[in-house]
Amino acid sequence: MHAVPPPLRVLLVDDDEDTRMLMCEALARRGLIVTSVESGQACLEQLDAKKFDVVVTDVQMPGMTGIELCRRIAERSPRLFSIVLSGLKDATTVAAALASGAVEFLAKPIGVGALEKSIRRAHAIRS
């Protein structure tokens, strides 16, 4: 008998509460364990307190941008992969996100199925 792998633990970072709630609910219905926070600083605090498999972050947030957050995550935990999700689709933003350590850049709006595939792909790269 094959052991069932544990559900993936995702940390979602977005300053928009409605976006966080909708994405959390949709990903949870797909079997992921999702924790959401509103800022880069809150994300770093959660990473100190709990273990996550993947971080999904918005780019534009007050305080610390998602790009800076990815850079800090890559420095602290090189095996924890980040995905950047943003409405900004210009080449400079995409390049900066990928250079900061993000494994993927996804443009908003995005369907929950595509986001889930990206999360699972990021986790598979690490494993």
Residue-averaged pLDDT of the chain: 93
- Residue 54, C-beta contacts closer than 8 angstroms, at least 6 positions apart: 8, 9, 10, 11, 80, 81, 82, 83, 119, 122, 123
pTM: 0.94
The Cβ of residue 22 has, within 10 Å, a number of other Cβ atoms equal to 13
Check if the beta carbon of residue 27 is closer than 8 Å to that of residue 34.
yes
The confidence score (pLDDT) of residue 127 equals: 59
d(CA 3, CA 11): 24
Query: Tens digits of per-residue pLDDT, 43-83?
Result: 999 999 999 999 999 999 999 999 999 999 999 998 899 99
Check if the beta carbon of residue 86 is closer than 8 Å to that of residue 1.
no
The confidence score (pLDDT) of residue 89 equals: 85
